[in-house]
Amino acid sequence: MLKNLKNRFSRPLNILLLMGLSACGISDAAVTLPDPATDIPLAKAVATQTAVFAGGCFWGIEAVFEHVRGVSKAVSGYSGGTAATAKYDLVSAGTTGHAEAVQITYDPSKVTYGQLLKVFFSVAHNPTELNRQGPDTGPQYRSAVFHVDDEQKRVVQAYIKQLQAAKVYPQPIVTEVVLLQAFYAAEAYHQDYVVHHPDQPYIVFNDLPKIANLQRQFPNLYVGR
């Protein structure tokens, strides 16, 4: 995802392995988590809701949530900075305040916000890595939940506290919880990147295992595409 990673796609596989990208990729961080003790109950016939998560390269986050029941849309983009700097080349420098993020549109009668959080913290990324995720480094790859209202804020803060108390990770959770100011969709070539480039080594090592972990750990939430 960093500019130097673009060249990684053409490197021999043995070089990739020497760089630390194992066959399981960063999804080795996937853990089994408890259900959120605090959640927003399933709703009846209401409008779709929005969640915005950041956790490393947006390609993988988007790909995971596109396979979650009740999610109708997942869009890669940028949150945390201004409209003027919401461009990949600028965000990649790590100085814009933006994080690579994914905007998720979901049906709250089919999946709860808490269930989305459980997927996010379990298989979509490793919430204990500070300003990085796997091979990608910099504040643009930080772990963050951009809540849209106080109800989402209450649920995510309670869940982080619950996970910390349960000691499900060997290191502290470093996920930021911040109010969403704006979300800016990324360039068209970033959208559905995993779908269009399933054979690229970066995708094979870092993102496809996340989807496999989703299917294995959340069979009742997983949907094929």
Maximum distance among all Cα pairs of the chain, rounded to whole angstroms: 52
Catalytic residue among 57, 102, 123, 163: 57
Q: Nearest 5°: CA angle at 153, between 150 and 155?
A: 115
57 is catalytic: yes
CA distance 215 to 150: 31
The alpha carbons of the chain give a radius of gyration, in whole angstroms, of 16
DSSP 8-state symbol, 37: S
- The single-letter code of the amino acid at 105 is T
Q: Rounded to whole angstroms, how far apart are CA atoms 126 and 114? A: 17
Buried residues in 79-93 as b, exposed as e (16+ CB within 10 A): bbbeeebbbbebbbe
Active site residues: 57
